[in-house]
Amino acid sequence: MPKVMIIGAGGVSQVVTHKCARVPEVFTDILLASRTIEKCDRIAAQLSRAIQTARVDADNVPELVALVERFKPELVINVALPYQDLHIMDACLETGVDYLDTANYEPPDEARFCYQWQWDYHERFKERGIMALLGSGFDPGVTNVFCAWAKKHHFDEIEEIDIIDCNAGEHGQPFATNFNPEINIREVTAKGRYFDQGRWVETEPLAVAKEFDFPEGIGPRKIYLMYHEELESIVKHIPEVKKARFWMTFSDNYLNHLEVLGNVGMTRIDPVMFNGQPIIPLKFLKALLPDPMTLGPLTHGRTCIGCLIKGKKNGQDKTYYIYNICDHQQCFAEVLSQAVSYTTGVPAMIGAMMMLTGIWRGHGVFNMEQFDPDPFMEKLKLHGLPWTEVILS
């Protein structure tokens, strides 16, 4: 009977754990392990079903291996931070256990993310007869599956993909991020990057912006071009794509705060000596900012994340838009979390379900768009993330 070990006990983990706990026929036993066991126990206490908890430092491979050998899971779901990805993959290799995450590896001392570090594990996972599923959140995750679905059902050839992420929610805080502040700020302050005619084009951070009219009453919002990891895997696995971009909305208030914090050096990730101690300004800033988990009861409004896709069907030009809208307060009512954690945690649970039930199987390291999108798309509707598709022309 499938046992699953969830690592990390933050905002996303809370949703994954709630959602896995509600599907006992797939997730028979659950172990929630993280650096701070009290956070695991707090999540466990919210559930109507008993799960196990443990303390683990996911940067310590022998400690991870010992815990995996004790609990003997079929799958490890990594919803700690991107810094832990390779250590957890090493522990999975050593113990012969499948792996899933929601964000690609990032070295702590360099604000750069890229799939190559994890793709380099492909042969070793294949030889060991185990599977890794990378990026099973919303973006990356559902957005990759949306592209695979569009390719399978709507296009003979996809030419352009714009992934557009809008958080139209309000939390009433002067400045807060909806997922881990350190990872969020590293991502947003990085240079923009998009794929065009077979090459990558770099832009200054948030230098390219335009307006997009979001559906279902959300209305027009300014969207900013950023680099996002799913672009790298989508252009690899759907090789006919000529142009792929990622866009995100930000409020003027968020951007003003970020600019000031950047100007005074608070977003730096290199060590600075303070009172004889080295400190990393961004890690210190994280300690001051609201924990995204506390935003659940405060956040109102909706998110809208989707893909605007252009290409050819039967020789004709076609433009197609597929999206999900998620309401922050409805998420809180269901799992005590806001929609950003919810839209990440639900696909992580569904990805795990695809692996444990054998619907998505393979030996090696895989991205979401490499599998049949249909069963995943069906489960999204059943587990709280319904989607809508519109043929625009």
> Hey, which residues between 288 and 317 contact ligand NDP (CB under 6 A)?
292-293
Q: Is 80 in the site for ligand NDP (CB under 6 A)?
A: yes
The answer to whether 323 touches 305, Cβ cutoff 8 Å, is yes
> Hey, which residues between 335 and 374 contact ligand NDP (CB under 6 A)?
340, 344
Letters for 152-191 (x = contact with ligand NDP by CB under 6 A, - = none) are ---------------------------xx--x--------
Q: Is 6 in the site for ligand NDP (CB under 6 A)?
A: no
327-333's contacts with Cβ under 8 Å and 24+ in sequence apart are 327/301, 327/302, 328/169, 328/299, 328/300, 328/301, 328/302, 328/303, 329/299, 329/300, 331/15, 331/296, 331/384, 332/296, 332/297, 332/299
Distance CA 141, CA 234 (A): 11
Q: Is 91 in the site for ligand NDP (CB under 6 A)?
A: no
CA dist list (Å): 135 to 40, 65, 167, 236: 23, 22, 20, 15
Of 115, 138, 224, 320, the one binding ligand NDP by CB under 6 A: 138
Structure tokens at 168: 């139209």
The answer to whether 20 touches 4, Cβ cutoff 8 Å, is yes
List of E strands, 180-301: 192-196, 199-203, 209-214, 219-226, 243-249, 272-274, 277-279
Of 73, 141, 281, 306, the one binding ligand NDP by CB under 6 A: 141
Cβ 289 to ligand NDP shortest distance, Å:
11
Three-class SS state of 202: strand
* Interacting span for ligand NDP (CB under 6 A) from 52-60, 92-100, 149-157, 318-326: 52-60
Q: Is 10 in the site for ligand NDP (CB under 6 A)?
A: yes
Of 79, 158, 161, 234, the one binding ligand NDP by CB under 6 A: 79
Cβ 303 to ligand NDP shortest distance, Å:
11
Distance CA 120, CA 123 (A): 7
Cβ 103 to ligand NDP shortest distance, Å:
3
- Which residue, 132 or 183, has its beta carbon nearer to ligand NDP? 183
* Interacting span for ligand NDP (CB under 6 A) from 10-18, 206-214, 234-242, 315-323: 10-18
Q: Is 258 in the site for ligand NDP (CB under 6 A)?
A: no
Cβ 234 to ligand NDP shortest distance, Å:
14
Environment class of residue 52 by beta-carbon count within 10 Å: exposed (0-12), middle (13-18) or buried (19+)? middle
Distance CA 17, CA 346 (A): 9
Q: Enumerate binding residues for ligand NDP (CB under 6 A).
A: 8-13, 34-36, 39, 56-59, 79-82, 84, 102-103, 137-141, 179-180, 183, 292-293, 340, 344
